Structures are given as C-alpha cells and as structure tokens.
Amino acid sequence: MLTDSELAVAKRVKGFMPDDEGLALHEAGLLGGLVGPLLEIGSYCGKSGVYLGAAARDCSTVLFTIDHHRGSEENQAGWEHHDTDVVDPLTGRMDTLPYFRRTIESAGLEASVIAVIGDSPTVGAAWQTPVGFLFIDGGHAEEVAMADYEIWAKHLLPGGVLAIHDCFEDPADGGQAPFLVWQRAVKDGYVPLGTTGSLRTLRKPS
Ligand code: SAH
Ligand code: MG
C-alpha cells in the first residue's frame, strides 16, 4: 500500500499524473511486480515514480526508471507543457534530475527506485533484464512512442503488465501516439485490463 506520506509527496510534486491515474498505476505496478521488476520510460520529476516505487517496494523488487532528463519536445520552451523552473540557468537546457532525486528522497523510496539516465532507445539496445511491468510515458511523438513499445515490450515477461499513459481515443482530447501504441499492443495479443482516465493497462499473454 502507498503510505499517507508517499501519497502526499506524489500529489505535491511536479508532473503529469492525475491522482486517480496514479493510484491505478500503483495497482497495475503491484500486479506486474509479482512477475518481475518494474520499468518506466519517462521519469520526469518522479511523480509516477512514487506510485510505482511504492508498488516495487511492496513486491520486494525495484523500479528502473529511464529518462535523459532533458524533456520531451512538448516540454521545451514555447510548448504547452513547458515549466521554466526545470531549466538549468547555467546552460538554458532542461534538467529534471534534481527534482526527480528530491521527490524520491522525500518519499523515502531511494532503496526501491533506480534512475537510469539516458536516451530510451540507447539504453534499450543494451538492456538484458526481463521485467514484469512496463510503463510507457516517454516522448509522445508517434515514432518515439512506437519505438519505445518495440524496444521495451520484448523485455516484458509473459504474464507481465504493460501500462500506457496519455491514451486518447478522440483526437480532440489529445495526441494519438499512445493510443496507437495501445491498439498495436492489442493487435499483438495483449489483453486489456483496464482504463483510468488516459491510463490503459494490458496483460502480456503467458
Ligand atoms: N511520468 C512522468 C511524466 C513523464 S514526461 C510523471 O509522472 O510526471 C515525459 C518524459 O520523457 C520527460 O521527462 C522526457 O525527458 C522523457 N523522454 C522523452 N523522450 C525520451 C527519450 N528518448 N529517452 C529518455 N527519456 C525521454
Ligand atoms: Mg504522461
């Protein structure tokens, strides 16, 4: 279970994870954590990392969370999801890593959450460890999101859980890439488990 203080940290910190979707993510993490370690693409400031890190802790496993911490296209200056707080004044580049570290420290989850700092396809090309849970919430451009699925889903164990964020069936509600990834997963035989807001979860067939 998420403790009250973990939940308070998750709710307070910067990020893109509504409370109800965060709780559903935590539940999905608990299911996948029974199968193997958890892996997240898109750490940002650690908000989803608290929900998933608590699930990893409860399953006596770990969460690996991958991000280059330089922001997605939609996080850069001039775009909708830009936040000037996360710009390094020395270089003018985004750097969310200090926020991420503070979030995980505040939540008391440093023993369960392992940050991998780098570009998702680059890390994925060298990755060897099978995982029980995969959360795709990195770059949301179509080729980026689909590449994350192609690279990482093969590391998901049979019976493992796949979660995809920002799935919008209606283009009026948001970008289509994550929803296309969800459709692709269904085509590949993944079984839908649930939908909470824009969060969709599926089970990889065993
Ligand atoms: N899960 C977060 C939100 C993630 S935002 C939350 O709960 O708030 C998307 C993140 O994906 C950004 O931090 C961005 O830096 C990261 N990202 C985008 N493309 C990436 C890539 N190719 N490799 C690694 N990280 C990437
Ligand atoms: Mg998201």
Rounded CA-CA distance 185/180 in Å is 9
Residue 102 pLDDT > 90, yes or no?
yes
> Annotated catalytic sites, by residue?
140
> What residues are neighbours of ligand 2 (ion), with CB under 5 Å?
16, 137, 165-166
Give the total number of structural domains in the chain: 1
pLDDT digits (tens, 9 = 90+) for 59-68: 999 999 999 9
Which atom of ligand 1 is least distant from the CA of 40?
A: 1
- Side chain identity at residue 120, one-letter code: S
Taking the model in full, what pTM does it have?
Answer: 0.98
* 47-58 vs 19-33: helix crossing angle, rounded to 10: 30
Nearest CA to ligand 1 atom 13: 44
SS3 129: coil
- Which residues surround ligand 1 with Cβ inside 6 Å? 15-17, 42, 44, 47-48, 66-72, 75, 96, 119-120, 137-139, 144
Rounded CA-CA distance 179/173 in Å is 11
Determine the distance separating the centroid of ligand 1 and the alpha carbon of 8, expressed in angstroms. 22
Other residues' Cβ atoms within 10 Å of the Cβ of residue 24: 21
Range of the domain at 120: 4-203
Residue 135 pLDDT > 90, yes or no?
yes
Rounded CA-CA distance 188/109 in Å is 34
Residue 166 pLDDT > 90, yes or no?
yes
- 29: domain CATH number? 3.40.50.150
Residue scoring higher pLDDT (79 or 57)? 57
pLDDT of residue 76: 85
Determine the distance separating the centroid of ligand 1 and the alpha carbon of 111, expressed in angstroms. 22
Please, which residues have CB within 8 angstroms of residue 146's CB and are 6 or more apart in sequence?
Answer: 177, 180, 181, 184
Rounded CA-CA distance 175/189 in Å is 24
pLDDT digits (tens, 9 = 90+) for 178-203: 999 999 999 999 999 999 999 999 99
Determine the distance separating the centroid of ligand 1 and the alpha carbon of 189, expressed in angstroms. 26
Other residues' Cβ atoms within 10 Å of the Cβ of residue 169: 14
